Structure 1
Amino acid sequence: MLSKRTIIGLIVGSAIIAIGGYSLILHIGTITINENYVVAVGDSTIYTIPAPAHTRQTMTITGDAFDMKLQSPGDGLQIPTTSYKKEVSLDWTHLIEGETKIQIQNTGNTELTITGVLIRSSDPIWFTYDLMVITAGMVIIGFSMGFTLRKPKGF
């Protein structure tokens, strides 16, 4: 017969393993990010987008005035530091696996709005993190199974 502590440990450990497994499945492959960001007057932001080959990226930047520089891997889209007014729409595809770097500086008198759909590759650290969560669930189940052992006489 299992004790209450063992049953609780099995339930909690199984739930933690399930959460870690689900997260592990989510972190396999590419991740789609729907970006909606606001840059204050005078501020700047930098995007680094690691992506596999043949992934399409789209971004729209709207504001009074701003400077932008974009570097895509390989022979992809390359934009030197250029000043823009009102709006610019970017649509490019990663030709090879690598990082796109975008630097945006708000030089206008209003806030800058950045929207877009960015597809990036998953960070390997999440794989390790998910495995650690699964291992923690196994440890909880292991400790809870210790409560089913019979206690020696005298305890």
Structure 2
Amino acid sequence: MKFLVLFFLSLVALISAAVIDPDRHLIQRDLEAATDGEDVQVIDYQLSDGRHKIDVIVNGVFDGSLITTEDGEVVVLDAEGKQLELDESNDDNTTIVKRSRLKVLIRLAKVIKKYGRRILNFLGCIGWKTALKCAAQIEWCTMTGGQMPWVCERAVSCIGKIVKECR
């Protein structure tokens, strides 16, 4: 009987360990570390030439921007105005390794590029601090899961109740 109990406890531990996605948890930890305990402000506005710009300010210091155009292109700029590639594996993106907030901007830029104004309105509605915190889940839902974040369980569980108001 003791063997059977021990076997079931071991099996439960093994199944629990298999369910945990280590990459997802590492990404989530990095994203939380990037914004947790910091004063993150996101300023969302329209430029005079019709483009849409989102500035990210962390602890009073300008951190980077996203610029969207009418044709769906998205440009990510770091604090110095250097354009970053949306492909995180690009060797030119050395600052991204050092500053994981830029990874968050790139994650959101990929989603905005794919879905345009509708997702931009949704992110503004849920609040930019929440969008930054939940960037990994939002990206997974839209890019991998093939669902909009307001119907995807991963994103909804991160975003919270506000998602009902922002659909």
What TM-score results when the alignment is normalised by the length of structure 1? 0.28
More strand per residue:
1
More helix per residue:
2
